[in-house]
Amino acid sequence: MDTVLPTRSDVRLSSADIANSTQNGCFSPRITVGAEGADPRLDSATLLETWHVKVLPECGEATFVGAVVGGTRKPREPGAPVIDPVRSRRESERRAKTKVRRYCAANRLNRLFTFTYRGEGQHDYKEVCADMNAFVKRLRKRFRNKAFAYVWVAELHPGGHGWHVHMCIGRYVLKATLADVWGHGFVDAIEIKAKGDEKRKYRVAASYVSKYVSKAMDTVPNRQRFKVAHGFPPREIIESVQAVGALAVTHVSHRYFGGRSPKRVWCSSEVEGDEWRGPPIMVAFYD
């Protein structure tokens, strides 16, 4: 679906431009015209005309990816590596955290559990995966064979005790029940609460899990650093909007979020130096 709104191709906007001026729930951005403030990795002929938008209503998020037309990207410097392992790791971590955040928000996961192993602990990651698969099956039986959304990630204990597991689900379970179903050691359980912003508690829960995902980037011996239940993907709505960045956000706000302005907007233009090499991106977060 394509939506055409008034366009100014020579405009470059930051998150401050988008979010600072808000009138009656609509954006009234400060406009910066010309090359000043433009992406330094694009030449002066570059025009931004279309935003490819992904809306995740249950997550309270919308991602805007700018289509670059009429220009070319600056060539790679001679001798520069084709793949930067540091940048690649950082991008993998960012994508993993984004997936966890959206999964938790969409499925309302805010109950955090930690599962440990008694005795000498468990040092084989494959066995940890097998134990968690068995745990999920046994817990599902306690839920009358009803599937449930979850995300879990393993953490290597710094004291040499092996692995323990952090898990997040969206329903209340007695701690005694968890310990009985787990059967391998100690179980801890907490509920994340947040006043005012309903989605905040799910994002806070996701931030806890994401912290362990970051650690897993260096310790988990394969690419699947965290696992989620299948069948519960966040709902996505895809469309294209032709507009100045602020107007594109306003359009999405009115169409999918009841006219509410986003609580915050992140822009790729805020990334310093040459750290961002992709197309221009905005991410809007709503309550």
Domains: count for the chain: 2
Whether residue 95 is found in the same domain as residue 218: yes
Q: Identify whether residues 60 and 34 lie together within a single domain.
A: yes
Q: Which residues lie below 8 Å from residue 49, measured CB to CB, with a gap of 6+?
A: 7, 9, 67, 69, 242
The order of strands in the sheet holding 227-228 is 187-191, 111-115, 163-169, 150-156, 227-228
Confidence (pLDDT) at 204? 87
**Per-residue confidence (pLDDT) for residue 175, from 0 to 100:** 94
Contacting residues for 34 by C-beta, under 8 A, at least 6 apart: 10
CA distances from 122 to 117, 132, 155, 225 (A): 6, 12, 11, 17
By C-alpha distance, which of 28, 30, 68, 71 is closest to 50? 68
Backbone angles phi, psi at 111, to 5 degrees: -115, 120
Q: If residue 19 lies in a helix (H) or strand (E), which one and from where to where?
A: helix 15-19
Give the DSSP H or E segment for 88: helix 85-107
Separation between Cα atoms, residue 186 and residue 129, nearest integer Å:
17
What distance in Å separates the CA atoms of residue 183 and residue 245, rounded to the nearest whole number? 53
Instruction: Please tell me whether residues 245 and 261 are part of one structural domain.
Output: yes
- DSSP code of residue 194: -
Together in a domain, 158 and 210:
yes
Domain check: are 100 and 214 in the same one? Answer: yes
Task: Tell whether 102 and 24 lie within a shared domain.
Answer: no
Contacts with 96 (C-beta within 8 Å, 6 or more apart), sequence order: 210, 213, 217, 225, 226
CATH of residue 184: 3.30.70.1910
Tell me, yes or no, whether 64 and 108 share the same domain.
Answer: no
| Among 208, 228, 248, residue at a domain's last position | 228
Domain that holds residue 96: 87-228
- Supply 70's token pair: 């009429």
CA dihedral angle for residue 225, residue 231, residue 234, residue 235, rounded to 10 degrees = 150
- Domain end position, chosen among 228, 243, 276: 228
- Per residue in 37-53, pLDDT (tens digit) is 444 444 433 444 689 99
Whether 160 and 199 map to the same domain: the answer is yes
Is 272 found in the same domain as 177?
Answer: no
Its sign, for the CA torsion 207, 209, 210, 215, is positive
> Are residues 111 and 195 located together in one domain of the fold?
yes
For 208-262, what is each residue's pLDDT tens digit?
898 888 888 888 766 678 999 999 999 999 999 888 778 889 989 999 999 999 9
Per-residue pLDDT of the chain (287 residues; tens, 9 = 90+): 555 444 333 334 445 544 443 333 333 333 233 334 444 444 433 444 689 999 999 999 999 998 765 544 555 666 666 666 777 778 888 888 899 999 999 999 999 999 999 999 999 999 999 999 999 999 999 999 999 999 999 999 888 889 999 999 999 999 999 999 999 999 999 998 877 667 788 888 988 898 888 888 888 766 678 999 999 999 999 999 888 778 889 989 999 999 999 989 999 888 776 667 778 899 999 97
Residue given tokens 């915050």 in the structure block: 264
What does the pLDDT read at residue 197?
67
Neighbours of 255 (CB within 10 A): 16
Q: Which amino acid is at 213?
A: V
**Which of these three, 205, 228, 251, is where a domain ends?**
228
| Tokens 């817990």, residue located | 139
- Are both 98 and 218 inside the same structural domain? yes
Q: Is residue 136 located within the same domain as residue 210?
A: yes
